[in-house]
Each structure stands twice: as structure tokens, then as C-alpha cells.
């Protein structure tokens, strides 16, 4: 489905949050003057009973010894949440400073926030079974809160973003596992090396829609699910080819169009690929095939679109509906070569059955990756 303007694709924000697991440890007798709180969030092991059972285990039982009784209420760490930018946001009650570091051996990003307390009402994010985050731990050490975020293999947090003075956003990035040890470990690394880490070009992949915005739908099948599955395949294949990859979303979350563009701009991507599924009304169910879009007048975008479109036709045998130009928000507002691929019509019964098929999704992803690779090899900045 096509989105011409950011406002047309806004949905309601999904705000429900439950905690999965918490462990409280009172180390007050252990050492000196620092009482330590220890909170842990773990991914569920494909066990929803576990999830809901743990969710009832409220955090209200924090030891009262850990509540600061100062007259001026301290700055508190109030919550962690995914913001729809593919970022995990740490939210405080007022302005905070911090320092951060990445431990490569443990794949853990650590943020130390001085002069803060963990709120007794801490809001915690849902970590889905497919979440790139394995574990989040909060420790109260003296008057500082230390947040440790451990990612699964193939994913890292490589930079932080200040959205406002009381928030720190952590950008999750998909990385090639083989070269994980060669990534910068300090956030002092200049950002302009980001798009070309160790000579590897960066591709931003944008799975269309998400959350309450399901995109095109037919017979209970949602565009948002097909685009996410294809995009993850595409990212995996591009990484195998040696590219760095950032996704605009990796979960089923609501995400406006502007932040999708911003992620690509901030990352200084070499190419931007938005993945969509098309639809028409019931009396046009015979229409099927692939359309690949670039922004009007974008010659590099057009070239990228042609490489990708040719590969899709060759790799999938899909009906050729042409390389086209259109003023879609995400390809019009990105400064790098950008395309939007309509990978097929969910309203055509035969094509719909292919679009939900994992093997076909992989063939589509492979074809898009080949086209991107050909384009980037033919064009070096
Ligand atoms: Zn769409």
C-alpha cells in the first residue's frame, strides 16, 4: 500500500507495556554505602503463560531502604520504551547526563546515569521472542543508575541520540557477525564514518507499515507482516554480501514516515529500500506484479530502481508492472538513492499465496539484494 504523506499513515500509538521478569536483590550488607537494586528484563522463551505470570509480579515491593528520603525528590529513571524509531529510550523525570560504553565480548551496551534513582513505578518494555535485545538490567550503584542492554548476536547498540534533555535513545543496529569485533567501541567515534564502517557501505531497509497501521490486507493477511519478513531476509542477505544494514523497524510497531527518513539520514546510508505490498479493490483481483518506484527526477534513485526491478523479474518471474516515479514520502525526502518496492498484489489470489510463502519471500529478498549490490558496485561515491 502506498503512503503519499506522513499524516495518512499515522495510527494510534500502542502504549501497553508490561514487565516480563524482575529480580530484586538487596546487596545492602555487601559493600560500603551503596545499596544496590537489580532489575532484569528477559525475553520470554516462547511461553506466554510465563509472560503473563511474570507480568503480575509488580515492582511495588521495592525495599523501602532504597527510597531516598531527601526533601528535594531525586531525578528518577522512570522507564524504558521502544519509541517507534527502532530505538530503545531511557526516560528520566528531568534532565540527565550520562556516559556510555560498549563491551564487545558480552555484546552489552552500558549507560551510567549519575545522580538518579530507579523509579518505584519503572515502566518496562515488552521484549518479544524475536527482539534483538536479549536482556535489560538496571542497577542502582551509589547515586548512579547503570543500565546494561545486552543484544543478541548480529545486533549492537552503537550510538545514542538525545531526543530531549530527559531522554536517551539507543539505536539498535544489525551488524554482520563476522566483523562484530571491528566496530568502534566508543561513542566519541565521529558519526560520518558510520555509513562506511571499515569500507562497508550501509543500506537502510524500511519494512512498510507496522503496529496499528497494518497496510494492505486481505483474508486476514497483513502487509505489515509480509514487509517485515521480507525485510529481515533482505537485511540478512545484504550482510552476507558484506553490507552494513539498519532497519527502520524490526518489530511490529507503529512508525510514522518522517522517522523512517530520519534514520536513513542520520545513518548517512548509501541506499534506502522501502518494502511494500500492493492492493486494489475486489473487481481488480486479476492485477498482479511488481512495481519499483523512485522519486521524480532522482537519476540515481531511478538507476537503483532499474537494477532492483530487473533482478526481481528475473528472480521471481513476477509480472512486470514497471519502474515508475512517484512522490512517496520516504523516497522523496531521503537524500541518498532511494526506492520503494511494491513486491506484489495481495488482492490477486495467486500472488497473495506467494507473498506469504517464506521461500518466495526469500527469493524476492535475494533479488532485491542483488539489485542493490549491482547498483552500489556500479556507483561509488
Ligand atoms: Zn504499503
Condensed to tens digits (0 to 9), the pLDDT of residues 70-86 reads: 456 889 999 998 876 66
Task: List CB-based neighbours of ion ligand 1 within 5 Å.
Answer: 1, 208, 215, 276
Which one, of 204, 247, 252, 256, lies nearest residue 225 by Cα?
252
The pTM score is 0.56
Predicted confidence (pLDDT) per residue in 240-255, tens digit: 999 999 999 999 999 9
Decide which of 197 and 103 is more confident: 103
Determine how many CB atoms are found less than 10 A away from the CB of residue 231.
25
For domain 190-378, the question of CATH label 3.40.630.40 is answered with: yes
Q: 300: CA distance to ligand 1 center in Å?
A: 22
Q: 259: CA distance to ligand 1 center in Å?
A: 16
Predicted confidence (pLDDT) per residue in 154-166, tens digit: 778 877 777 678 9
pLDDT of the residue at 103: 80
pLDDT of the residue at 116: 93
Tell me the pLDDT band of 380, cut-offs 50, 70 and 90.
Answer: low
pLDDT of the residue at 67: 41
The CATH number assigned to the domain with range 38-182 reads 2.60.40.3500
Catalytic sites, residue numbers? 342
Q: 2: CA distance to ligand 1 center in Å?
A: 5
SS3 240: helix
Any idea where the domains of the chain sit in the sequence? 38-182, 190-378
Q: 216: CA distance to ligand 1 center in Å?
A: 6
Cell (9 digits) for 32: 560500603
pLDDT of the residue at 176: 52
SS3 144: strand
Question: What is the rounded CA–CA span in Å between residue 78 and residue 91?
Answer: 6
Q: 307: CA distance to ligand 1 center in Å?
A: 21
Decide which of 220 and 6 is more confident: 220
Instruction: Label residue 242 exposed, middle or buried (CB < 10 Å: 0-12, 13-18, 19+).
Output: middle
Question: What is the rounded CA–CA span in Å between residue 121 and residue 112?
Answer: 20
pLDDT of the residue at 71: 53
Question: What is the rounded CA–CA span in Å between residue 74 and residue 93?
Answer: 9
Helix (H) or strand (E) holding 221: strand 221-222
Q: What is the DSSP string of 30-68?
A: TSSS----EEEEE---S-HHHHHHHHTS-GGG--GGGS-
- Give mean pLDDT, residues 8-23: 27
pLDDT of the residue at 41: 59
Q: 89: CA distance to ligand 1 center in Å?
A: 27
184, pLDDT greater than 70: no
Determine how many CB atoms are found less than 10 A away from the CB of residue 153.
11
Contact assessment for residue 111 and residue 82, using Cβ atoms and an 8 Å cutoff: no
Question: What is the rounded CA–CA span in Å between residue 246 and residue 86?
Answer: 9
Tell me the pLDDT band of 28, cut-offs 50, 70 and 90.
Answer: very low
Tell me the pLDDT band of 257, cut-offs 50, 70 and 90.
Answer: very high
Q: In whole numbers, what is the pLDDT of the chain averaged over residues?
A: 77
Question: What is the rounded CA–CA span in Å between residue 323 and residue 325?
Answer: 7
52, pLDDT greater than 50: no
Amino acid at each position: 500500500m502506498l503512503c503519499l504523506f506522513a499524516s495518512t499513515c499515522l495510527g494510534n500509538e500502542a502504549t501497553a507495556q508490561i514487565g516480563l521478569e524482575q529480580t530484586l536483590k538487596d546487596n545492602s550488607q555487601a559493600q560500603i554505602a551503596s545499596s544496590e537494586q537489580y532489575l532484569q528484563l528477559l525475553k520470554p522463551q516462547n511461553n506466554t503463560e510465563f509472560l503473563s505470570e511474570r507480568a503480575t509480579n509488580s515492582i511495588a515491593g521495592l525495599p523501602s531502604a532504597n527510597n531516598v528520603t531527601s526533601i528535594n525528590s531525586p531525578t528518577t529513571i522512570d522507564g524504558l520504551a521502544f519509541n517507534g524509531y527502532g530505538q530503545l529510550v531511557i526516560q528520566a523525570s528531568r534532565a540527565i547526563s550520562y556516559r556510555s560504553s560498549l563491551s564487545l565480548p558480552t555484546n552489552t551496551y552500558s549507560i551510567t546515569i549519575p545522580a538518579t534513582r530507579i523509579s518505584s513505578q519503572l515502566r518496562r518494555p515488552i521484549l518479544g521472542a524475536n527482539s534483538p535485545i536479549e536482556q535489560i538490567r538496571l542497577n542502582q550503584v551509589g547515586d548512579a543508575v547503570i543500565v546494561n542492554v545486552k543484544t543478541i548476536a548480529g545486533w549492537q547498540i552503537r550510538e545514542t541520540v538525545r531526543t530531549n534533555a530527559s531522554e536517551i535513545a539507543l539505536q539498535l543496529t544489525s551488524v554482520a557477525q563476522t566483523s562484530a569485533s571491528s566496530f568502534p567501541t566508543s561513542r566519541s567515534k565521529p558519526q560520518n564514518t558510520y555509513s562506511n564502517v571499515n569500507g562497508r557501505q550501509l543500506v537502510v531497509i524500511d519494512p512498510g507499515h507496522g503496529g496499528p497501521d497494518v497496510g494492505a490486507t486481505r483474508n486476514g493477511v497483513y502487509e505489515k507482516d509480509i514487509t517485515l519478513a521480507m525485510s529481515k531476509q533482505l537485511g540478512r542477505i545484504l550482510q552476507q554480501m558484506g553490507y552494513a544494514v539498519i532497519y527502520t523497524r524490526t518489530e511490529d510497531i507503529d512508525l510514522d514516515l518522517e522517522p523512517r527518513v530520519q534514520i536513513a539520514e542520520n545513518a548517512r546510508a548509501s541506499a534506502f529500500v522501502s518494502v511494500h505490498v500492493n492492493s486494489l479493490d475486489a473487481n481488480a483481483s486479476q492485477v498482479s506484479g511488481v512495481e519499483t518506484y523512485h522519486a521524480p527526477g532522482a537519476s540515481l534513485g531511478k538507476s537503483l530502481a532499474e537494477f532492483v526491478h530487473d533482478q526481481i523479474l528475473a528472480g521471481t518471474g513476477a509480472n512486470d508492472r514497471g519502474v515508475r516515479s512517484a512522490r512517496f514520502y520516504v523516497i522523496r525526502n531521503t537524500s541518498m538513492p532511494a526506492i520503494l518496492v511494491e513486491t506484489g498484489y495481495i488482492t490477486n489470489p495467486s500472488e497473495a499465496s506467494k507473498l506469504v510463502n517464506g521461500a518466495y519471500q526469500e527469493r524476492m529478498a535475494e533479488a532485491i539484494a542483488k539489485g542493490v549490490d549491482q547498483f552500489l558496485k556500479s556507483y561509488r561515491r
